[in-house]
A and B are shown apart, each in its own frame.
Chain A
Amino acid sequence: MRSKLLVLVFLLLAAFVHILSLGKAVDARNQLPQDDSDTFVLPSPILKIAALEFQGLASDVFFLKTMVFIGGTQQRKEMPRVKEWEWNWLVKVLDTATDLDPYFFDPYYYANAYLPWDAGKAAEANRILEKGSRYRDWDWMLPFYIGFNDFFFLGNDIDASAHLMEASRRPGGDPMLASLAARLAARGNRTETALYFLEEIAKRTEDRGMKKHYETRMRALRSLLFLDNSVSRFKKTFGRMPASLDELVNRNIIDQIPPDPYGGTYYITQDGKVRTTASSELEPYLSPEQKQIRQ
């Protein structure tokens, strides 16, 4: 009886020390100098061979890595939430995942949702999406995404129009795509066209987190469009530019300045365009190349 009790005490004690030592060891390990192996992704040709018969599975694992990474950044407090090298790593991992299984849709979906908007890497996103469009030749979504990025971020309306036409030809491609292509050719109000695009993307997005992501962008764009139109109205009424957005409120053109969903403040540039100070989130909208293209 006593020996049984002794064994029990020993086991309990051992279990306690086990948990204690595990915690302490992990803490101490995190203090050790770290290598930067996380930033390194093996080249795809090597990975393809090393994955043996499990290429599809390896692709899934790489994609899950990006999901975990994006999820982790949502908790971060510091700004910018994601550092440049981390975006570069994400591009590499998504590229690798789609090299291992070029037919896998989800990495393309993620590349399109995060790279152009948050990372300001529309060209990289399009390079990955082009691969997807080549392999998934039945899928109209991918050329549609490329077309949007061409139009909105890269300011390349001609390529955008061509990609939209390609999307409209594929099975399931909506007739609205053809009309979008026509709009691009007409070079109308860009913010309005962008909203039209986004509404179509959001309509086809079922994932709730992703839908919210797009809806926030649409709110930001709607506010910009609203303010842009108000500035034009002010100009028509008073024959000059408003000195600031507050003047729109003071002169009763609008009731109030809508809040920027990204936490920035709206302002008017020298040439009368409305912009936001939350530049990191809408950076591409303000990029110098794009301004140049628009002028």
Chain B
Amino acid sequence: MTALWPIALITFKEGIRNRAIYGITLFALLLFGATALVATMIPQEVGKVSVDMALSTISFTGLLLVLFVGINLMAKDLDKRTIYTVLARPLSRSQYIFGKFLGMILLILVTMCVLSLLAMAAIFLLKMSISGYFTRFSWPLIGLSIFLTILMLVLLSAISFLFASFTSSSFITLVLTIITYIIGHSISGVKALVETPSEVLGFGVSPVTVTLVRVAYYLFPNLSLFNIKLQAAHDLPVSTSYVAWTVLYGVVYICLSITLAAIIFRKKEFP
């Protein structure tokens, strides 16, 4: 653990210094501004729409962070050949990967906390000015939704590490991570759709497709589990067991991905 910490810290600092993070923050600020603007146009459920927009902004900004800052952090060492100097130190390759990942978690945590504070401030101000339109509203659920979003982002980041461990360019890692994100959020919907009986669906789905979708369902992470924005926006009940199983699923998936990444990275030949 002591060996990991310096790497984690360097990774975090490098991430914070990245110019892209300014762009991402500016984008998030614009979106929070848009929240206030759009919410005032809504005749009734202002609270629902503002929570929707704030949580979506947090999620989307985090996604940009993982895709455009996170993947670069990993790739830079390889592209600039700085990895040789790092690995020349008394440090195993898996320690290097774990350290990097720890730094990435730190980066996600810090930026998401800043964004969440901004988002909550935006919601709070709106709520103060027009509290009558916030009939079904719950701060704890908003917090829970943000927590699950952070877990989702860490998971996505772990997968990007896995891809980075065997691809030769950061662009391929980026594309694969985006594909995983899209599949991860749509796979349970697609599975439900293809498993619907053809009489209900109105058209038949070939058994090959159904099998393929089922394989993908177990292979790719089910990211929609971490999405409780709708429940948070309407103050709908979320059971403790749901949260517990989802967190367990997320943590196990993260551990699996990052361990696999370390194993592959150990065998990797550098050019």
Among A16-24, A48-56, A123-131, A182-190, which stretch is in contact with chain B? A48-56
**Contact among A55, A57, A210 with B43 in the assembled complex (CB-CB below 8 Å):** A210
Contact yes or no, A106 B45, CB < 8 A? yes
Q: B128 interface residue, CB < 8 Å from A? A: no
Contact yes or no, B229 A56, CB < 8 A? yes
**Contact among A45, A53, A64, A109 with B41 in the assembled complex (CB-CB below 8 Å):** A64
Contact yes or no, A56 B233, CB < 8 A? yes
Interface size on B, residues (CB 8 A): 29
Q: B189 interface residue, CB < 8 Å from A? A: yes
Q: Which residues of A contact B233 (CB under 8 A)?
A: 56, 101, 103
Among B49-57, B65-73, B92-100, B106-114, which stretch is in contact with chain A? B49-57
Contact yes or no, A103 B230, CB < 8 A? yes
Q: A67 interface residue, CB < 8 Å from B? A: yes
Contact yes or no, B189 A49, CB < 8 A? yes
Q: A36 interface residue, CB < 8 Å from B? A: no
Chain B residue nearest to A207 in the complex (CB) = B43
Chain B residue nearest to A57 in the complex (CB) = B56
Contact yes or no, B189 A104, CB < 8 A? no
**Contact among B44, B59, B60, B230 with A109 in the assembled complex (CB-CB below 8 Å):** B44
Given the interface contacts A57-B52, A103-B230, does A50 sit within 8 Å of B186 by beta carbon? yes
Contact with A along B159-193 (1 / 0, CB 8 A): 00000000000000000000001100110011001
Contact yes or no, B38 A106, CB < 8 A? no
Q: A60 interface residue, CB < 8 Å from B? A: yes
Contact yes or no, B230 A101, CB < 8 A? yes
Contact yes or no, A60 B227, CB < 8 A? no
Q: Which residues of B contact A53 (CB under 8 A)?
A: 56, 59, 185, 223-224, 227, 229
Given the interface contacts A45-B193, A56-B56, does A103 sit within 8 Å of B185 by beta carbon? no
CB distance from B13 to the nearest CB of A (A): 30
Q: Which residues of B contact A56 (CB under 8 A)?
A: 48, 52, 55-56, 229-230, 233
Q: A105 interface residue, CB < 8 Å from B? A: yes
Contact yes or no, B56 A105, CB < 8 A? no
Q: Which residues of A contact B234 (CB under 8 A)?
A: 103
Contact yes or no, B43 A60, CB < 8 A? no
CB distance from B259 to the nearest CB of A (A): 26
Q: Which residues of A contact B43 (CB under 8 A)?
A: 67, 106, 109, 207, 210
Contact yes or no, A57 B193, CB < 8 A? no
**Contact among B41, B55, B182, B236 with A103 in the assembled complex (CB-CB below 8 Å):** B236
Given the interface contacts A53-B59, A57-B56, does A106 sit within 8 Å of B186 by beta carbon? no
CB distance from A178 to the nearest CB of B (A): 24
Q: B42 interface residue, CB < 8 Å from A? A: yes
Contact yes or no, A54 B45, CB < 8 A? no
Contact yes or no, B189 A106, CB < 8 A? no
CB distance from B215 to the nearest CB of A (A): 18
A103 to B236, CA, bound (A): 9
Q: Which residues of A contact B236 (CB under 8 A)?
A: 103
Q: Which residues of B contact A63 (CB under 8 A)?
A: 42
Contact yes or no, B193 A104, CB < 8 A? no
Q: Which of A53, A54, A57 has the most CB of B within 10 A?
A: A53
A67 to B45, CA, bound (A): 14
- Chain A residues numbered 30-76 whose CB sits less than 8 Å from any CB in chain B: 45, 48-50, 52-57, 59-60, 63-64, 67
Q: List 28 A-B contacts (CB under 8 A).
A: A49-B186, A49-B190, A49-B193, A50-B186, A52-B181, A52-B182, A53-B56, A53-B185, A56-B52, A56-B55, A56-B56, A56-B229, A56-B230, A57-B53, A57-B56, A60-B52, A60-B53, A64-B38, A67-B41, A67-B43, A103-B233, A103-B234, A104-B45, A104-B48, A105-B48, A106-B43, A106-B45, A207-B43
Known: A45-B189, A53-B229. 17 other contacts (CB 8 A): A49-B189, A53-B185, A53-B227, A56-B56, A57-B52, A57-B56, A59-B52, A60-B52, A64-B41, A67-B41, A101-B230, A103-B236, A104-B48, A105-B45, A106-B45, A109-B43, A207-B44
